[in-house]
Chains A and B, each alone.
Chain A
């Protein structure tokens, strides 16, 4: 996410950083690079102009020129300005004191509304413990209702649908009444994709809004959108005065300049980011963190939050006990591996670690390697898992055959495990490396 933009800004500013003082020519050169990078990142050209002008003005101010390390200050100015542009602190949905809280999803065709609807339902269920219903109001796209029935159920939401013959405005109103009578906390209304220039469908959207009186209207925007994002956002803002934005497809390599543009032009905050095809790949959008990330400073906060939701406190305590008593076996190792994988694809985790973005660019994580390790461990008896030192010739052969791997793979895994166990023992005995220092180094 935004990797290339971060790289470009870093390269430009590294150049500035190397010098003692900043001349106006330096600032101009840096601004030119930033301008190009932002245009390449699909930030709207009007936004690019105001952004670079603002940065330039601040960079040329007296508090930079003549200071000991002006380069670092330019980085800070760009970062501050970017944070400002992205919208300050994160914002949440508006929850109604009298349920159901109603949310309407709107957007262009193919921006990912139906998927985002299900993801939001799952998110609210998991994070807020809400009982959620989703309403299928996309009666135009073939099989859109079927899709919502499937993904809605996967998300653990009740799906309200009346097929495709009803008027979407009526379905929405009916769903709202039903959500109220069934005591749902949240109702999310999925609408059909529509072009911002389609007057008839835009009027329909306005009528849906009137019928359900939503607490939030969310505009779903594809992160790959180009300059046109501004047009789309302006038109939707005019007709339905949406309250916030969901950015989708942020797991691709699009630099997502649309996020900057939409925020800057409409002033509406981006509330959520959708980062994959799985229903749990959905998170709150943190503008301040995102600005740090654009500048290549990593996204440690998101990583920590992910870890917190995936890890079970009791399990962690049990693990600590085992480590102390030196009872850590392959079973525990497998459990650890599963927990890490629950955080999401390793590839996307790596992107969140400060300093890793660039260094690990070419590195592909082979997720199947984990499947092989899992297969090997599962082919062992419980006793073998606790005492891998028992595994010799014939056991090794049996495990290799059972897991569909070979003897070398089994041998290698056990060897790695023994080494790991040694390190863990040291850690448990109090020789803990200073994690804070490690982090600072990575930065």
Chain B
């Protein structure tokens, strides 16, 4: 497929993105598909998923089943959105209490996500929320979460310094049950998916939770930084092997990164994006909309 990625060094990104909106499909040639491939590669969608989407669109266009720029643009968005739409993309809050475990690589925005999520649940949905600071490793990780919990008006449970994360999770759930809280959110330390011992530790946190409440955690969210490239797929795969990841939180979408790796993750692993982070304020956490996401992938 990358025969098309061959030449055209001169083309700038600005030209690329402005052209893709309106006039890309006006004149169908090799260059059209090449430019589309570049746009998707540029959005971090990855070679395999890009090849699939562009291949299908090209096939539909050449067979004549779709024609016209408008129709092709819509079909492209549809194809991308279809891939993004996988599994259940809602967060079910019926279990009492609902246990949400948040995990991810260092610096992807776990603690911030936990803070925003707690704020949403408590301020907008009127739920009583308890957050547990099971990130006992990073210097000041606990303090950071405590500030967020206060802003969100959520209960806060922490352990002694360097406490076992599993024991913090245990204490948090015990406190939530004692107080009759609706939702428990457990923040965990950032870890690289390649660190086996830390992945085992995460699996242990999950086991501790499941021992207290057999079907918990009801939701295990993996934070993925939208600027992440193809390594995001490895992250999702290895985290899924340690704990049952039920959804992604695609963070930092307020920059110029498109977060196309989420598409590859949805396609390869069937894990849906459930939430997106679009800023540093408490209200900057939104539900995921596959059509909006698909549209943003190929336009500026």
Contact = CB atoms under 8 A, between A and B. Distances in A.
Interface of A: 32, 35-36, 39-42, 45-46, 48-50, 53, 108-112, 140-144, 146-147, 149-151, 154, 195-197, 222, 224-229, 231-232, 249, 251-255, 257-258, 277, 364
Contacts of B107: 109-112, 222, 249
Interface string B24-45: 0000000000000010011110
A151 B231 CA distance: 28
A109 B109 CA distance: 8
A226 B230 contact: yes
Interface in B180-215: 192-194, 196
B218 interface: no
Contact of B230 (A41, A46, A109): A41
21 contacts: A36-B47, A42-B44, A48-B5, A49-B7, A53-B9, A108-B252, A109-B280, A146-B143, A147-B141, A196-B256, A197-B256, A226-B44, A226-B227, A226-B261, A231-B255, A232-B255, A252-B231, A253-B193, A254-B229, A255-B230, A255-B231
Max chain B Cβ within 10 angstroms of own Cβ: one of A154, A195, A364:
A195
Nearest to B189: A277
Interface of B: 2-3, 5-9, 13, 38, 41-44, 46-47, 105-109, 137-141, 143-144, 146-148, 192-194, 196, 225-232, 234-235, 252, 254-258, 260-261, 280
A17 B183 CA distance: 60
A277 B232 CA distance: 19
Contact of A140 (B13, B148, B194, B280): B280
Contact of B139 (A112, A140, A146, A228): A146
Given A196-B255, A224-B228, A49 B143 contact: no
Contacts, number: 152
Given A39-B2, A46-B9, 14 more contacts: A42-B231, A48-B5, A53-B9, A111-B107, A142-B147, A142-B148, A143-B140, A143-B143, A150-B140, A222-B227, A224-B229, A226-B229, A231-B257, A253-B231
A144 B138 CA distance: 11
Contacts of A249: 105-107, 192
A142 B145 CA distance: 8
Task: Tell me if B's interface is mostly helix, strand, loop or mixed.
Answer: loop
Contacts of B235: 224
B14 to A, nearest CB: 11
Contacts of A225: 227-229
Nearest to B104: A110
A45 B227 contact: no
Nearest to B12: A46
A277 B194 CA distance: 13
Contacts of B231: 42, 224, 252-255
Contact of A228 (B44, B140, B194): B44
A102 B99 CA distance: 47
Contacts of A142: 143-144, 147-148
Nearest to A225: B227
A143 B143 CA distance: 6
A119 to B, nearest CB: 13
Nearest to B233: A40
Contacts of B227: 108, 222, 225-226, 228-229, 232
Contact of A36 (B2, B9, B147, B258): B2
A229 B252 CA distance: 14
A194 to B, nearest CB: 10
B256 A42 contact: no
Contacts of B47: 36, 39-40
B55 to A, nearest CB: 15
Contacts of A146: 139-140, 143-144
A44 B101 CA distance: 34
Contacts of A144: 140, 144
A144 B42 CA distance: 32
A252 B192 contact: yes
Contacts of B196: 364
User: Which of B2, B7, B141, B252 has the largest number of chain A CB atoms within 10 A?
Assistant: B2
Contacts of B44: 42, 226-228
B58 to A, nearest CB: 19
B266 to A, nearest CB: 16
A228 B255 contact: yes
A195 B230 contact: no
Nearest to B254: A195
A253 B235 CA distance: 9
Contacts of A50: 9
Contact of B2 (A35, A42, A141, A364): A35
A359 B254 CA distance: 42
B127 to A, nearest CB: 22
Contacts of A257: 229
A252 B229 contact: no
A147 B261 CA distance: 30
A227 B228 contact: no
A257 B8 CA distance: 21
Nearest to A254: B231
A109 B252 contact: yes
Contact of A42 (B7, B109, B225, B230): B230
